[in-house]
Amino acid sequence: MRDQAPATQPVHPGVHCHLAFPGRRSRRLGAAMVAATLLSAAPARAIEEVVLKLPLLQNTFRLKVSELGSSEALLRGNSDLAELDRASDGRIGRQLQALLTKPLPIDLGRATEQAVGTPMLEQAMLVLSSLGTVEGAQQDLTGAELNQALQRASAAGPLTLLSLIKAIPGQRVTLDLGELGKRLERMVQQRDEADALMAASTAAAPATTAAPQAVRRSEMELPVAHRPGRPLQLVVLEPRSGGNGRLVLISHGLWDSPSSFEGWAQLLAANGYSVVLPRHPGSDHDQQQAMLSGQAPPPGPDELKLRPKDISAVIDALTSRQLSLAGPVQTDRVVVVGHSWGATTSLQLAGLKPSSRALPRCNDQADPERNLSWVLQCSWLQGSRVDELKDQRVVAIAAVSPPVSLLFPPGAEADLSARVLLVSGSRDWVVPPDPEAVTPMRLREDKGNRLVLVQGGDHFNLRPGQKADGGTLGPLLLAWTEGAFQAGAAVRPSPSAPNLLPPMGWGQTGMALVDVTDRLRRP
C-alpha cells in the first residue's frame, strides 16, 4: 500500500494476481517464489508461447514470444493474435509492444535483495498469484536463489515486461484476463455501499472563512530511545501570537513525509493550535528511496509499534521540556491526526490493539473484502506481536483512510480511550471504503465515533500538501479538533457521548463531505 502517489502506475493498478503451475510438469508457486520464477535469467527451457484467455469472447489468443519483440514482428507473425493485429492495421501490436518494452522504473534486483524473507514480500508475491498459469516449470527459487535470479535478470540491462516473460522458466504462460475482470468487479463492489450511504445523506455545508493568524514554522530533532541512532525529525507550526496552548500531532503514511500534511498544520496553527509533524524514519519517503535503490529492506513489522512510540515520545519530550515550543502547550489532552498508516498509528494510540485473529484470511484470494491494503496488514500481522500502545493523553483522533479490517477485530473498540473520527474517500482503491471503513464502523459499538465519507476522494487527493486552507479535509479536521477540546471530560468515548462535529460549517465546495454515521445499519 503506497501513501505517496507513484510516479508511474502499474499495468493494472490495484489488481491482485495469481500465478499457478497446473499439470504433471507444472507446479503451484508459493508466494515468495513468484518473482523468482518470473525473473530467473537461465531457465531450463524458455517460454515460447503466451496464451491470453478472453472469457467474454469464450476464446483464447496465442502468440509466440518471438512475435513480441516489435510491432512489425507481430504483424508478420502467424499466431492468433497476429491475425487480430493485421485486422486492426497493426494498432494492437504497436500498443502491446510499447507496453512490453517500457523499462521498469526501479532497480528491481537490488530492491528485492533487501526484501527477501520479509513478510511484506511474502504478501506482495501472494497478490501476484492469480494472473494465470505457467507450464513446464522445473525449479523452485526462494530466499538467496530468488535474489540470484533477480541479479542475473538485471545484469542484461533495464528490466522490461518482455524481458520478464522471456525469463520465465517453462514452456507456455497463460494469462487469465477473466480473473482480472473478477478482481476489477470486486473493487467496484467495495465502494457500492459507500456510494449508497452518501446518496441518501446530506453533505455538510461549506465552512466560513475566518481571518487566520500568522504562523511560525520551525524544524527540530528529537533523539528517542526506541530508535537508537535515528532521531526523529520534527516539523513544528505554531501561531506567532495568541496561541491557545493546545497540542495536535500529525502522523504521515507509508513512504510519505510531513510536507504532504503541512496544509492541515497551517490551518490548525492559524487557529491557535501548536502542531508537531514527526517524520517516521522507518517508513518515510527517504526509506522508500533507499529501498528502491537496494540500500534498505522494506519497512518491517516492528514499525507497527515504533510509530505510536514516536508520537508518545514527542508528547513526553514536551511534557519534560526536553522540547520547547514558542509558546506553552498542555500535554495532558492531545489530538492526533493521521493518514493511511499514520491513521492506523492514531488508532493504536486511541486504544485499538492489533490481533492476529484474522491472519488466516490473508491466504484467501477469494475473500470478497480482499483489497490492496491487505498486503501491508498481513505483513504486519505475520511478523510481529504488538502490545497495546494506548496513550491516555490522546483524547481524540482523526483517522483518514486507515487500513483496519484485518488488524482490529470487532470488539477491539472496548478499549478505546479516545474519540475517533474515521474518514474515507469514495474512490479509494488502496484502502476501499466498504471493507475498511463502513463495515468496521457498523460492527463496532456506538460510542460517539463518527464516519465521514468524501465524494470523489481517493487515497492521495485527500492530503493537503502545502495548501494553507487545509485542502479538502481542512475544515472538517479543524471542527473535530475544536469539538474535542471544547467537550472537556465528555470527549471520552461512551454510549452517551455528544457529537463533536457541529451540524454545519465543515464541508467543502469541491468535494462533498457526508457524515453517514447515523445511517449505518448495525446488527
> What's the average model confidence in pLDDT over 103-109?
57
Q: How confident is the model at residue 477 (pLDDT cuts 50, 70, 90)?
A: very high
Confidence at residue 170, expressed as pLDDT on a 0 to 100 scale: 64
More confidently predicted of 375 and 41: 375
pLDDT band at 98 (very low <50, low <70, confident <90, very high): confident
Q: Which of 181, 140, 170 is nearest to 53 (CA)?
A: 181
Percent of the chain with pLDDT over 70: 71
CB-based contacts of 403, cutoff 8 Å, min separation 6:
1, 340, 341, 344, 373, 374, 376, 377, 431, 436
What is the per-residue pLDDT for 269?
96
Supply the CATH classification number for the domain 192-519. 3.40.50.1820
Q: Over 80: is that where the pLDDT of 285 sits?
A: yes
Residue 169 is given by DSSP the state B
Does the structure show a pLDDT above 80 at 121? no
The CA–CA distances, whole Å, from 202 to 10, 128, 196 equal: 36, 40, 12
Least confident of 161-170, 283-292, 434-443: 161-170
What is the structure's pLDDT at 37?
32
What per-residue confidence (pLDDT) applies to 30?
Answer: 32
pLDDT of residue 216: 96
Is the pLDDT confidence value at 288 over 90? no
Whether residue 306 has pLDDT greater than 90: yes
Locus of grid cell 487566520: 212
At 417, list the grid cell: 480511550
pLDDT tens, 239-252? 998 899 999 999 99
- SS3 of 342-386: HHHHHHHHHCCCCCHHHHHHHHCCCCCCCCCHHHHHHHHHHHCCC
Which three cell numbers, joined as nine digits, stand for 329?
502547550
* 366 or 404, higher pLDDT: 404
Ranking 79-93, 102-116, 438-452, 479-493 by mean pLDDT, the lowest is: 102-116
DSSP secondary structure of 80-96:
HHHHHHHHTTTHHHHHH
In the predicted structure, residue 158 carries a pLDDT above the cut 90: no
Name which residue leads in pLDDT, 49 or 321: 321
Q: What is the mean pLDDT of residues 190-202?
A: 88
pLDDT at 334 over 50: yes
| Per-residue pLDDT tens over the stretch 421-476 | 999 999 888 899 999 999 888 877 788 999 999 999 989 899 999 999 999 999 99
pLDDT reported for residue 293: 77
Which pLDDT band, with edges at 50, 70 and 90, does 410 fall under? confident
More confidently predicted of 191 and 447:
447
Name the least confident of 148-157, 370-379, 408-417, 451-460: 148-157
Identify the residue with better confidence: 495 or 44. 495
| pLDDT greater at residue 10 or residue 194 | 194
Distance set, CA 27 to CA 33, 139, 488 (Å): 11, 9, 62
Which of 96-100, 434-438, 480-484 has the highest average model confidence (pLDDT)?
480-484
The rounded Cα 302 to chain-centroid distance in angstroms is 17
| Mean pLDDT within 302-329 | 95
Give the mean model confidence (pLDDT) for residues 410-422. Answer: 88
DSSP one-letter string for 483-518 = HHHHTGGGGS--TTPPPSS-SSS-B-SSS-EEE-GG
Lowest model confidence (mean pLDDT) among 120-134, 447-461, 508-522 = 120-134
Query: What pLDDT band is residue 63 in, cutting at 50, 70 and 90?
Result: confident
Out of 277-286, 293-302, 337-346, 398-407, pick the least confident: 293-302
pLDDT at 289: 83
Residue 107 reports pLDDT greater than 70:
no
Domain boundaries, the chain: 17-189, 192-519
pLDDT for the residue numbered 363: 84
Instruction: Tell me the average pLDDT across 97-113.
Output: 61
State the average pLDDT for the chain. Answer: 79
Give the pLDDT score at 39.
32
pLDDT exceeds 70 at position 369:
yes
DSSP string, 189-207: HTTHHHHHHHHTSPPPPBP
